[in-house]
Every structure is written in structure tokens, then in C-alpha cells.
Amino acid sequence: MISNLAALPIVIPLIVGVLAALFHKKLKLVRVYAQVLTLINTGVVAYILFYVHQNGSVVLESGDWMAPFGIVLVADMLSMTLVLTTNIVAIACIFYAPKSLSQKQEEFYFYTFYFLLISGVSGAFITGDLFNLFVFFEVLLMASYGLIVLGGEKVQLRESMKYVLINLFSSMLFVTTIAFLYSVVGTVNMAQIAERVGEVEQTGILTTIGILLFFVFGTKAALFPLYYWLPKPYIAPNPVISALFGALLTKVGIYSLLRVFSLIFVHERDVTHEFFIWIAALTLIFGSIGALSTNNIKLVVAYNIIPAVGFMLIGIGVYNSTGFSGTVYYLVHDMIIKAALFLLVGAVAYLAGTSDLRKIRGLIHHYPLLGWMFFISAFVLAGIPPFSGFVGKLVLLQGAMEADRIIIAIIGLGSSLLILLSVIRIFIRGFWGEKDESITPNRNAARGFIMPVAFLLFFSVLLGVGAEWFYPSIESIGDYLMNPENYIESILKE
């Protein structure tokens, strides 16, 4: 009975989302409904995380098919931590949505797509089956296709074509890779794949499949050189949708990399993990240069997704438990802060009436609180103590140092400076400067924008200041990832 807990974070949003479609035109009702049920879902997820923390992983063998034959759902500390973070981001977005979306966008199934997206993301985190991971990728991508064109403006339609095509292509590559893997190891259950790959000592063909899988997840996670599709489609839709995308979608890709390359393809690290370090370095450099290259404030934040993914890849590449803990910590931190930043620039663009940095000035005179919140989130993003970015980067770089990877640590630190510059530039030029008299301040709207962002920043600061409380759990996740036997045993029960 208790193992059914693992399915709840997927099933609840799915049902809620479908039901929301039934009364999509009754805006007041559907808003309250979505807000209340997001909170309830978060409560359930928090309880599951607590349960997993106390009693160990919950494994659901769906339909009572025994582990390697049926689809398994695995709620372990890693997946539940990420699902909880997803839901925290979701809470902020759902309270921000009514202020930011037009009536038409809300009526045309925003809430349905939103819940399906949450369901797909949670599913991708929880599933223990490689093909099922593909299915959940498709669920979340389908929802994101719906969200990205919501409103149907010219720019959205133009960018969504590219977005759908690149994702469709990488999904097909994913299916092909699974077929390859199936023909070699004869299973799609991740635990059993890991076991069998270990038995044959990962021959050349398996390493090739591993690299192919890396390219699939690398496309979804926006790693160098596969990130070119990301920035523009991400800024085309409404800010709240951008926030959901920026916080969740690429992180599912990096989570999959973390899972696959800590569990399955770990025997030829000279090839795979060495390669990751270089890719991480290039991702960091090109992503942070990209963030400096533009005056569009939304594009600056969208480009900032890329170096963050590079940081997380360092932790996977160095392959030690400190590195893995760093990746997990950074994953949680980045989901929260990316959502906060997207929501903030969305608010700035809305209040200033433009997203061109050259036309925005002196906003702090009108909206002091918004300005200081932006200032704090810039510091969180760049990793200035005592905020969460600092702890994440510290642990990651510590992992890199333990593996004697000095160069990547230096590149990481250097790109942090560029990231700080790219975001603080928005603060200096957009918020400082002379008062812009042509703007009539809209304090009411600003207040609606501020609350959800403050909620997210609270968690960011908590993660940083309270690192002492959270870090032991994250550290145990790092150890858990270093010892894949635990994962395999909890599923195959041998």
C-alpha cells in the first residue's frame, strides 16, 4: 500500500489538470482550484520526502509486475528532493500567473497544461525505467508545446517551430538509443541495465551508446554545443511560462545525465566523464559570454540557464561524492533562482513596458522593493555568500579540487564573475539612474509580482543561510549516487 506513494506526485497533477479543463472559462474558480491543489500536492510531496528520509526509498512496481519486467517508480531522496523543488517553483508560478497572463491565455487551458507539465516533470524524476523516462519527457514536452504557443503571437509561433523540431529530433534520437541499449543488454529497467553493464565491464559499444545518450540529454539540458536552440524560444511566451521552462525543463535533462552517468555508464570514466569536464568548461564560457552579448533583459536571464547547466555538469564529470552533492545542491538552488529571475525580469518588462535595457532607467525610484529583490537575486545567482549559489558553487568546486581539476575550477570562478556582471548590469542600468517621469507607477501590479518572487527568494536565502541543516541530507544523496548498488538493490531486491 505504502509503495503507492511513489505514484502520487504524478497522478495528482494529472487528474487535477484534466479536471481543470472542464471549467476552463470560469476564471475565478479555476484560479482558486489550481492554487489550492498545487498547495495540497506540495504538501503530499513534502510528506513523501519526509517518509523517504525516515524509511528509505519507496519503490512501486506498477501493476504488480515484478521489478525488471514491469515499470518501476522509484521515490528516493534525490528524486523526491527535486520533485519538492519543482512544486515550490510551481507554487510561485501559480500565484504569479493571474497577474501576468491575459484573460485569453488563462481561459485557453493554461492551468491544464501547467498541471500536465508538473506531472511530466515529476514523472521524469521518479521513474526507474529508461523507456518510461522517454514517455515522461514527451508528456512534459507536449505540455510545454501547448504553453509556448499559448496566446499565438507572431514571435511565439515563429520560435515554437524551432523548439518543437529540436525536441522532436532529440526525442527520436532518444528512442533509437534505447533500441540500441535494449539490443545489447536486453532490458530497459535502469537498475537492471546498470547491473548488466557492470557484468560485461562496459564494452566499446556500450560506451558509444552512453555518449549517444549524453547527446540526447545534452540537447534537452542545453549543453555546449547543443544549446543554440534554447534562449530565444524561452523568452517568447509569457514570463510565468518562461519561468516554468527555465526552472524545470533543462533541469530534467541534467537530472537524467546525473542518474544515467552515476548509475549505468560508470566503468569507462576516462572517456565519458573526462569528456564531460571539457563540455562543462565550454558550456560555462559560451553561456556566460552569451549572457553579456545582449541588451534584452529576458534574453540575459535565458542565457544564464546555460552556464548553470555547465556548473552542474562539472559535478557529474569529476565523479566523487562531493561533486555529486554539489550538483544536487546546485540543481535545487538553480531551479528556485531561475524561476525567481524569470519572474522578476517579467515584472520589470511589464512595469517598464519594454524588455530593451537601453530604454529602461531609474526603476528603483518607483519600485524600491522590486529593485532590491532583483539585487539579491543577482547575488544569489552569482554565488555571493551567504546565499544558496555560494554553497552550491563551493561544494562543486571542492569536488573539482578533490579530483585535481584546477582548470575547470578556475573557469567556473571566472564565469561566475561574468554571470554577476551580466545580471548586475540590468540592476545598474535599469534600476539606477535618473527617475523616468514618463512612467506612471503601478504599485498594485508590482505588489502582485513581488509576493511570489519573495516566496522563492526566501527559499534561496534559507538554502544558503541554513546550509548547515540541509547539507547533511544532500551529502548523503551524494554518497548514495556514488554507490549505485543501493539503488539497484532497492529495486531488484536480491
Which residue matches cell numbers 549559489? 389
Nearest distance from residue 162's CB to another protein, in Å? Answer: 8
Contact between 154 and another protein (CB under 8 A)? yes
- Please tell me whether residue 168 binds another protein under the rule CB under 8 A: yes
Q: Tell me if 203 contacts another protein by CB under 8 A.
A: no
Task: Please identify which residue in 39, 62, 138, 466 interacts with another protein, judged by CB under 8 A.
Answer: 138
Cβ proximity to another protein, 207 vs 294, nearer residue: 294
106 binds another protein (CB under 8 A): no
Torsion (CA) 381, 385, 389, 391 in degrees, nearest 10: 170
Residue 456 near residue 340, CB atoms below 8 Å? yes
Asked if 413 interacts with another protein (CB under 8 A), we say no
Among 16, 143, 149, 411, binds another protein (CB under 8 A): 149
Minimal distance, residue 40 CB to another protein, in Å: 29
DSSP string, 63-102: GG--TTTS-EEEE-HHHHHHHHHHHHHHHHHHHHHHHHS-
CA angle 41/241/10 to nearest 5° reads 30
User: Nearest approach, Cβ of 154 to another protein (angstroms)?
Assistant: 5
- Alpha-carbon distance of 233 to 156, in angstroms, equals 7
Which of the ranges 85-93, 111-119, 134-142, 411-419 carries the binding residues for another protein, by CB under 8 A?
A: 134-142
Question: Does 152 engage in binding with another protein (CB under 8 A)?
Answer: yes
What is the rounded CA–CA span in Å between residue 349 and residue 128? 41
Provide the mask over 329-368, with x wherever binding to another protein is found by CB under 8 A and - wherever it is not.
---------------------------x------------
Q: How far is the CB of 210 from another protein (least distance, A)?
A: 17
Q: Grid cell 546565499 — which residue?
A: 387
Provide the minimum distance between the beta carbon of 294 and another protein in the complex, in angstroms, as a whole number.
6
Determine, following the binding rule CB under 8 A, whether residue 157 of this chain makes contact with another protein.
yes
Cβ-based nearer residue to another protein, 216 or 423: 216
- Asked if 145 is part of the footprint of another protein (rule: CB under 8 A), the reply reads yes
Binding to another protein (CB under 8 A): which residues in 422-481? none
Indicate whether 296 belongs to the interface with another protein (CB under 8 A). yes
Paired with 59 in beta bridges are 74
Listed ranges 133-141, 319-327, 367-375, 479-487: which one lies at the site for another protein (CB under 8 A): 133-141
Question: Burial level of 120, CB count in 10 A (0-12/13-18/19+)?
Answer: buried
Stretch that binds another protein, among 4-12, 55-63, 295-303, 478-486 (CB under 8 A): 295-303
Q: To which residue does cell 544558503 refer?
A: 464
CA within 13 Å, CB half, 157: 4
Q: Which is nearer to another protein, 98 or 146 (CB)?
A: 146
C-alpha distance from residue 238 to each of 93, 97, 116, 369, 481 (Å): 11, 9, 18, 22, 37
Is 486 among the residues that bind another protein (CB under 8 A)?
A: no
Of 118-126, 161-169, 333-341, 380-388, the window that binds another protein (rule: CB under 8 A) is 161-169
424 is written with which cell numbers? 548586475
Assigned C-alpha cell, 273: 566523464
Taking contact as CB under 8 A, which single stretch among the options 8-16, 25-33, 147-155, 416-424 is the one that binds another protein? 147-155
- Selected from 11, 36, 66, 175, the binder of another protein by CB under 8 A is 175
- Is 24 a binding residue for another protein by CB under 8 A? The answer is no
Q: Is 265 helix (H, G, I), strand (E, B) or coil?
A: coil
**Contact call for residue 183 and another protein (CB under 8 A):** yes
State which residue, 354 or 483, has the beta carbon closest to another protein.
Answer: 354
| Helical spans, DSSP H, in 101-189 | 103-105, 111-126, 130-148, 154-185
32 vs 161 by CB, closer to another protein: 161
Asked if the peptide bond before residue 484 counts as cis, ω within 30 degrees of 0, the response is no
**Is position 295 an interface residue for another protein (rule: CB under 8 A)?**
yes
Residues 6+ apart with CB under 8 A from 283: 223, 224, 227, 306, 307, 309, 310, 313
Cβ nearer to another protein, comparing 155 with 413: 155
For another protein, what does the binding mask look like between residues 216 and 245, x meaning CB under 8 A? ----------------x-------------
Which residue number, 173 or 445, has a Cβ lying nearer to another protein? Answer: 173
Q: Are 457 and 380 in contact (CB under 8 A)?
A: yes
Identity at 139, one-letter amino acid code: V
What is the residue-wise DSSP string for 423-470?
HHHHIIIIISSS--TTPPP-HHHHHHHHHHHHHHHHHHHHHHHTHHHH
Residue 179 C-beta: closest distance to another protein, Å: 4
> Does 172 participate in binding another protein (rule CB under 8 A)?
yes
φ, ψ of residue 415 in degrees (nearest 5):
-70, -25
State which residue, 41 or 304, has the beta carbon closest to another protein: 304
Q: Which amino acid makes up residue 65?
A: W
Contacts to another protein by CB under 8 A:
131, 134-135, 138, 142, 145, 149, 152, 154-155, 157-161, 164-165, 168-169, 171-172, 175-176, 178-180, 182-183, 188, 232, 294-296, 299, 356
